Structure 1
């Protein structure tokens, strides 16, 4: 069975006391119900239209504060959940990308929580949330062409043994570990701060697991609460 055990650097915990996440590991099966993603997205749009939970604004504000603590400017580079919600509120919808990506984006906007999805087959070692020293390699796209850059020293990043996989905590994922519906080994991380009730974090994870199970009957899925 696929085993993924992400770790959290104690220095990150000092930046955001009470940070916790749910790790979801998936040994994928063939996708037979791709429409699950569209239905999840429609539910999420209705939640956004009627107003997210009474704690969601505080949760996004807490993420902005956490970003400022390591030198990021949340107005320019917000957490992934806030970025998605801004696009929905501006454009009315998100572009259709891929059943898997659309599903976890739907969970993100419904619950106002950053959700990352990664192709774990591309990982070298285990994922860890840490503070960059500025020498890590991060592969991205610039002007439609592959490019490499490095995070800023002191920046919170997700990384593996090869380099950074996500910059500014959950702002931008790298190309190397990008997830799509063809991946055989999938890893998701749902990241929350104390302003989001633990019950809501668990509900978001449960909805993701339920959607993946319906989309890919036969997939083997495990979850784990990750705390500093």
Structure 2
């Protein structure tokens, strides 16, 4: 069974957090993600990504984590920067393309994990320093104690610096059958924007199950497995 949650410490430090989680089996979106690009382009036409309230909220969070927000950017900001410069994003995999496109449109970090590479509980928490992170370079890294990571029950870190960088361990590949998608927001209208984001993903992934988590209901358990 796939389980996902944020630790009590994360909720205490970031009470404004609104996480959305979706699980889909046999995930094969077929629609053109460029319609989400148009939404992002319209928003960027009014100003840079750094001015968007969604991105400003994450910059404040990274500053609170002791990170320079212009050195370590949340995934949504990095995508928006690349999209603003290039006018498009490269196609990688239908699921990744969908996650990236929706992330662009909503300016909210969206992580897409290969669910079969996640065993048991996946928790967003402060690292102990003993976790192992598989970088795409092939190197094994150890997050510093206190760093916010996505960690499983076996001490494997599936993302570093919260929404900054995912691990190669659970990256989506052509062999991926099921996905766990996590979207997290901290801005003032997150409580309405995250459900809209999940609805957009759900429309592309029929039969998926999704929910918005809260401090009172912090855990997602996939019923389909």
With the shorter chain as reference, the TM-score category is: 0.7 to 0.9
User: Which moved further from structure 2: 80-89 or 67-76?
Assistant: 67-76
Change (3 A) 1:62 1:5: same
Aligned partners of 1:158 and 1:164 also within 8 Å: yes
Unaligned runs of 5+ residues in structure 1 are 214-219
Query: Per the alignment, in what secondary structure is the counterpart of residue 162 of structure 2?
Result: coil
1:91, CA displacement in angstroms? 1.7
1:37, CA displacement in angstroms? 3.7
Provide the aligned length of Structure 1 versus Structure 2. 211
Aligned partners of 1:137 and 1:148 also within 8 Å: yes
Query: Is the counterpart of residue 106 in structure 1 residue 93 in structure 2?
Result: no
Aligned partners of 1:18 and 1:194 also within 8 Å: yes
Query: Per the alignment, in what secondary structure is the counterpart of residue 189 of structure 2?
Result: coil
Per-residue CA shift, 1:169-213, capped at 9, x if unaligned?
011110111123531121001111142332221111111111223
Distance 1:193 1:221 in 2: 24
Matches within 5 A, 1:159-174: 159-162=151-154, 163-174=156-167
Change (3 A) 1:7 1:118: same
Distance 1:155 1:196 in 2: 26
Query: Per the alignment, in what secondary structure is the counterpart of residue 169 of structure 1?
Result: coil
Query: Per the alignment, in what secondary structure is the counterpart of residue 182 of structure 2?
Result: strand
1:168, CA displacement in angstroms? 0.5
Aligned partners of 2:133 and 2:143 also within 8 Å: yes
Residue equivalent to 2:57: 62
Matches within 5 A, 1:1-228: 3-28=1-26, 31=28, 34=30, 36-51=31-46, 57-142=52-137, 146-162=138-154, 163-213=156-206, 220-228=207-215
Distance 2:120 2:210 in 1: 19
Query: Per the alignment, in what secondary structure is the counterpart of residue 66 of structure 2?
Result: coil
TM-score, normalised to structure 2, is 0.86
1:141, CA displacement in angstroms? 2.5
Aligned partners of 2:18 and 2:186 also within 8 Å: yes
